[in-house]
Amino acid sequence: MEVTPSLVLAMWAAGVAFGAAVVSYWTIVGPGYNWLLAGILVLIGGATSLAGGVWLGIAATVAALGAGVFGRKRVPAAGLFAVAGIGYLLVAVEDGGVAPAVTGALLLGGTTSVMLLGHWFLVDPRLPRQALQRLDAATALGWVAELGAIAVLGAFGSGDTVMVAALAALAVLTGLLVAAVWFALKEPAYSGVMAATGLSYLGVLTAFGVVVIGRLLVAGL
């Protein structure tokens, strides 16, 4: 496994793209959300391409841009977001392997998607909370899968006790934040969504720590 900026950015972009595809297909948001996500993916995808995943990254970013162009149409937008996600995932697979690329994308994409959709409640407070709960459940699945993948690859057996302790602490904190988002969404008042969105901010940061430190330990760096 080679830990590079391209690998991390590609996993993140892939997860966000797949999350955008799912939310777009649910038709719970207007075209503005699709335009926002397309813009975010163009930024992340551009950084991915510059960091090393040139051709696949560019192709995936073009697909994401196309999703924005067709933002008013559910199926084309969702399909193009999914194509973008596949492209970014292939970039990640080149450096990180299939299983770790998938688990990293699921964890990073899940928690980022919760944060982004949570913010969209400011635009439309009538959005169904069930959508956020489903995305949080996907994040929980990504958390379990990610920890399983890096454990099998030997991250927790590294001789660097400080890094292993940091990974363990971030892993526990990420799991607690995912659970806290779930229970915050049980609060019927709008403050529950606000709390869940704020917690997902922290979740994005700690998830990045798990993904990066875990792969550094696997790579022996």
The string of pLDDT tens digits covering residues 106-156 is 999 999 999 999 999 888 888 899 999 999 999 999 999 999 999 999 988
Residues 209, 166: Cα–Cα separation, whole Å: 9
Four-residue CA torsion sign, 197, 202, 204, 210? negative
What pLDDT score does 53 carry? 66
Per-residue confidence band for 34, with pLDDT thresholds at 50, 70 and 90: very high
- The predicted-structure confidence for 38-54, as pLDDT tens digits, reads as follows 999 999 988 888 877 67
Q: Reduce the DSSP state of residue 124 to 3 states and report it.
A: coil
Domain segments of the chain as ranges: 1-96, 129-221
* Per-residue pLDDT, 181: 97
d(CA 30, CA 74): 9
Query: Which string of b and e fits 81-93 if b means at least 16 CB within 10 Å?
Result: bbbbbbbbbbbbb
Q: Is the pLDDT of residue 221 over 80?
A: no
**Percent of the chain whose pLDDT exceeds 70:** 99
pLDDT at 25 over 90: yes
List the one residue out of 119, 112, 130, 120 whose CA is nearest residue 178: 112
The helix, strand and coil proportions of the chain, stated in percent and rounded to the nearest 5, come to: 85, 0, 15
pLDDT at 16: 97
Please answer whether residues 82 and 21 qualify as being in contact, where contact means their C-beta atoms are separated by less than 8 angstroms: yes
Q: What number is the average pLDDT over the span 3-30?
A: 94
Instruction: Report yes or no: 184 and 115 within 8 Å, Cβ to Cβ.
Output: no
Q: How do residues 154-199 score in pLDDT, each as one tens digit?
A: 988 877 789 999 999 999 999 999 999 999 999 888 889 999 999 9
